[in-house]
Amino acid sequence: MALPAARMLLQDVGLCVGFFTRIPVTVTTSRGLAQAQWATPVAGGLIGLCIATAYIVVLSIGMPAGIAAALTLAAGALLTGALHEDGLGDVADGFGGGRTRDDKLAIMKDSRLGTYGALALMVSLLARWSAMVAIAPFGTSVILATLVAAHAASRALIPLFMAWLPSARPGGLADRAGAVDADVALAALAIGIALLLPTGIECALVCMALLACTVVAMRNLAMAQIGGQTGDVLGALQQAGEVGVLVVAATLLT
């Protein structure tokens, strides 16, 4: 007997939340992660909501915005297990330090962090910290809308990338997740765009244009470097998208 549609949707959300966070979610379903990828921006929105709530609470007790932003970023890393930060560091090390495709893939698989990876993470953290400090004076609604949009929209790019690019590492994390259908990727994009709208039409339009450029640039880079995508590349894509949305929002507000 087929599961009711609503129950399937909830299971897909639970599957994505369990994968993208350290929240212990147990889901019994015959559907794979690839089929559930439409819910990736939903999981991202929930992550953004948790991070925004933590930021608002810390600010409300009178803590300076700089310290509050740093603590909130740390809490966010604990919530997600620094999954995408790890991908960004590995991609920077692999693409920056490898000479051949095999060298790059081997470096990306190595758990050790190199100079390129450390610099990439420093830039990502500094950009996000600066944007969070910049939006702090604009109040609760702006913080909520901005952080939810940044985390949801950036993760909405992941299914698109999985559907668009071949896997560069057979047996890797992205490869094991399976092929993502175009309709799943489009559904994720629609949800990501919808969650951008509360930031305002101008901000949403600029963010969409920037995210589109980010996807194309990352696609060209990944194909040139390793001939496809991996879980690390998807993580780097998410980080670039999150930084982009936060920087756009902070710039337009200030």
Angle formed by the axes of helices 115-135 and 65-80, to 10°? 130
Nearest to 206 by CA among 254, 253, 236, 248: 248
Residue 176 is predicted with a pLDDT of: 61
Confidence of residue 1 (pLDDT cuts 50, 70, 90): very low
Residue 27 is predicted with a pLDDT of: 80
- Locate 147 and state its tokens: 């952080």
Compute the average pLDDT of residues 218-241.
97
pLDDT above 70: percentage of residues in the chain: 96
Torsion angle defined by CA atoms of residues 138, 141, 142 and 146, in that order, rounded to the nearest 10 degrees: 150
Sign of CA dihedral 10, 15, 17, 23: positive
Nearest to 189 by CA among 231, 243, 152: 152
Segment 126-156, tens digit of pLDDT: 999 999 999 999 999 999 999 999 999 999 9
Over the chain, what is the mean pLDDT? Answer: 94
Say which residues have a Cβ less than 8 Å from residue 93's Cβ, sequence separation at least 6: 107, 108, 110, 113, 114, 115, 116, 117
Residue 172 is predicted with a pLDDT of: 63
Domain residues of the chain, as ranges? 39-253
pLDDT at 175 over 90: no
167 φ/ψ angles, rounded to the nearest 5 degrees: -75, 135
pLDDT above 90: percentage of residues in the chain: 87
Confidence of residue 179 (pLDDT cuts 50, 70, 90): confident
Segment 187-215, tens digit of pLDDT: 999 999 999 999 999 999 999 999 999 99
119 φ/ψ angles, rounded to the nearest 5 degrees: -65, -40
Q: Which residue has the higher pLDDT, 254 or 78?
A: 78
Confidence of residue 173 (pLDDT cuts 50, 70, 90): low
Segment 77-133, tens digit of pLDDT: 999 999 999 999 999 999 999 999 999 999 999 989 999 999 999 999 999 999 999
Segment 30-55, tens digit of pLDDT: 788 899 999 999 999 999 999 999 99
With a threshold of 0.95, does the pTM exceed it? no
Residue 60 is predicted with a pLDDT of: 97
pLDDT at 178 over 90: no
Please give the full DSSP string across the chain, using - where no structure is assigned. -PPPHHHHHHHHHHHHHHHHSSS------S--TTGGGGGHHHHHHHHHHHHHHHHHHHHHTT--HHHHHHHHHHHHHHHHTTHHHHHHHHHHHHHHH-SSHHHHHHHHH--S--HHHHHHHHHHHHHHHHHHHHHGGG-HHHHHHHHHHHHHHHHHHHHHHHHHS-BSSTTSHHHHH-PPPHHHHHHHHHHHHHHHGGG-HHHHHHHHHHHHHHHHHHHHHHHHHHSSB-HHHHHHHHHHHHHHHHHHHHHHH-
What count of other Cβ atoms lies within 10 Å of the Cβ of residue 193? 18
